């Protein structure tokens, strides 16, 4: 930061500052954990020396708290992707299963909102399409907080529910599906940066109407953007300088639209690559009858307290998937 010219490039300087902040936070957090662990060890040693049962219990509680904080630090350290520190945009869509699937989609929405609330994240509902009889057809919400996308990105996939249907008069067991899609909250605008070395600029005499001056001077401009092959020309203005400004304006617009089209195509490819929201594609099953269990099929983790999971206590399975390197 003290180097000459550091602040000349605003974008580069801002990126360096963000990296510095992240490294500083990591370093301070690590130092704090070292101090907490050392204090807990001293407390445990004193309890043993004095043979104090109450002090032992207090030391055990403190060590447990430090252990949980170290585990959280370990998980955060694993989230080193470009967008992992960002907020997340989560979309939930009902799949096969009719009204039961729409009710299941609403249950998932509540689960993730409760999870975000437990972590102290802010949430904002962006879109909600109510179901025909109950539940929701789809919903999209935004959650902002440290590493929100990093934690939620592995929740993307098909989620399966097995239960006795409350919408079936015969009381039969029903299997329902809903999909979850997770995207990073990106606050980047498309920046069109045109370098001179990527341009070939030619001048020529304007043709057509415009008067004696326009036709006899090389005021018209043709600009070739070499990387993309886009050609823009302008000859309507009397001044070569103004024609060049107009040509560059048109070129920027065309490059902007080209980038937008590329982003749209990429999003369409992501959407089309998603699996069908039905049997055989699920990443996790939530079984309420005939027994109670949540099973993540990717890591074969099973949790018996389904009610707690549906109330937002999904950290164990999120951590399990992250620690498995998936």
Residue 72 counted as domain residue? yes
Q: 242: left (phi > 0), else alpha (psi -120 to 50), else beta?
A: alpha
**Residues 205, 239 share a domain:** yes
Of 78, 112, 133, the domain-final residue: 78
- The answer on 257 and 114 residing in a single domain is no
The predicted pLDDT at position 147 comes to 86
Asked whether residue 4 is assigned to any structural domain, the reply reads no
For 300: left if phi > 0, alpha if psi spans -120 to 50, otherwise beta; the answer is left
Same domain flag for 165 and 201: no
Is 202 part of a structural domain of the chain?
yes
In a domain, 2, yes or no: no
Domain span at residue 160?
A: 88-188+279-323
Gap between the Cα atoms of 272 and 265, Å rounded? 10
User: What integer pLDDT is reported at residue 271 of this predicted model?
Assistant: 52
Q: How far apart are CA 226 and CA 154, in angstroms?
A: 40
Q: What share of the chain is helix, strand, coil (3-state, %, to 5)?
A: 45, 25, 30
3-state secondary structure of 139: strand
Polymer length in residues for the chain:
326
**161 and 306 in a common domain:** yes
Q: Tell me: do 243 and 211 sit in the same domain.
A: yes
Same domain, 166 and 210: no
Do residues 176 and 92 share a domain? yes
Show Cβ contacts of residue 178 under 8 Å, excluding neighbours closer than 6 positions: 92, 93, 94, 95, 101, 104, 105, 108, 158, 159, 161, 277
Residue 106 has what pLDDT?
A: 97
Q: How far apart are CA 93 and CA 55, in angstroms?
A: 52
pLDDT in the model for residue 213? 47
pLDDT at 156: 92
The number of domains in the chain is 3
Other beta carbons within 10 angstroms of residue 177's beta carbon come to: 23
What is the rounded end-to-end Cα distance, in angstroms, of the chain? 37
Question: Are 313 and 245 in the same domain?
Answer: no
Q: Alpha-carbon distance 95 to 92, whole Å?
A: 10
Say yes or no: 227 and 302 in one domain.
Answer: no
Q: What is the pTM of this model?
A: 0.64
130 with 171, same domain? yes
**Is 3 within a domain?**
no
> Any long-range contacts for 18-26 (C-beta under 8 Å, 24+ apart)?
22/85, 26/77
CB 240 within 8 A of CB 221: yes
Instruction: Per-residue pLDDT tens, the chain, 326 aa: give them.
Output: 888 888 887 778 887 887 888 788 888 988 999 999 998 889 888 888 888 888 888 888 888 888 888 887 887 777 877 788 888 889 999 997 789 999 999 999 999 999 999 999 999 888 888 998 899 999 999 898 888 999 999 999 999 999 999 887 777 888 999 999 988 876 555 567 788 888 898 887 765 544 444 455 667 888 899 988 888 877 766 778 888 887 787 788 778 778 767 876 766 665 555 555 555 678 999 999 889 999 999 999 999 999 999 999 999 999 899 888 76
Q: Which of 236, 262, 288 is the last residue of a domain?
A: 262
pLDDT at 69: 85
DSSP 3-state of 244 = helix
CATH of the domain at 250: 3.30.160.20
Within a domain: residue 42?
A: yes
Are 219 and 117 members of one domain?
A: no
Query: Is residue 122 assigned to a domain?
Result: yes
Question: For residue 245, is it within any domain?
Answer: yes
Q: Which residues of 138-157 are buried (b: 16+ CB within 10 A; e: fewer)?
A: bbbbbbebbbbbbbbbbbeb
- Which of these three, 24, 47, 78, is where a domain ends? 78
User: How much is the pLDDT for 300?
Assistant: 94
CATH of the domain at 316: 3.30.70.1660
Cα–Cα distance, 157 to 41 (Å, whole number):
43
Same domain, residue pair 165 and 50: no
């Amino acid at each position: 930061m003290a180097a000459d010219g550091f602040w000349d490039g605003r974008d580069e300087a801002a990126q360096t500052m963000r990296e510095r902040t992240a490294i500083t936070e990591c370093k301070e957090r690590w130092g704090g954990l070292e101090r907490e662990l050392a204090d807990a060890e001293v407390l445990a040693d004193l309890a043993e020396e004095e043979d104090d049962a109450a002090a032992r219990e207090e030391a055990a509680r403190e060590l447990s708290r430090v252990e949980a904080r170290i585990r959280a630090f370990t998980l955060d350290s694993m989230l080193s992707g470009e967008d992992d520190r960002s907020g997340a945009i989560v979309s939930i869509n009902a799949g096969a299963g009719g009204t039961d699937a729409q009710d299941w989609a609403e249950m998932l929405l509540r689960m993730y909102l409760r999870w975000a609330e437990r972590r102290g994240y802010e949430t904002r509902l962006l879109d909600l399409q109510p179901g025909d009889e109950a539940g929701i057809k789809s919903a999209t919400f935004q959650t902002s907080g440290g590493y929100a996308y990093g934690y939620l990105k592995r929740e993307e996939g098909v989620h399966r529910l097995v239960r006795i249907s409350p919408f079936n008069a015969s009381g039969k067991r029903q299997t329902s599906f809903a999909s979850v899609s997770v995207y990073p909250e990106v606050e980047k605008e498309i920046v069109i940066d045109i370098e001179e070395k990527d341009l070939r600029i030619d001048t020529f005499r304007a043709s057509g109407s415009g008067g004696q001056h326009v036709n006899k001077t090389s005021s018209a401009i043709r600009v070739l953007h070499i990387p993309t092959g886009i050609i823009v020309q302008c000859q309507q203005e009397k001044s070569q300088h103004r024609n060049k400004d107009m040509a560059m304006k048109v070129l920027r617009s065309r490059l902007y639209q080209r980038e937008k089209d590329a982003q749209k195509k990429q999003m369409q490819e992501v959407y089309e690559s998603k699996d069908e929201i039905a049997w055989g594609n699920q990443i996790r099953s939530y079984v309420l009858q005939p027994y109670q269990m949540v099973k993540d099929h990717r890591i074969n983790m099973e949790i018996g307290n389904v009610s707690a999971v549906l109330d937002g206590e999904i950290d164990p399975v999120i951590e399990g998937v992250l620690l498995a390197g998936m």
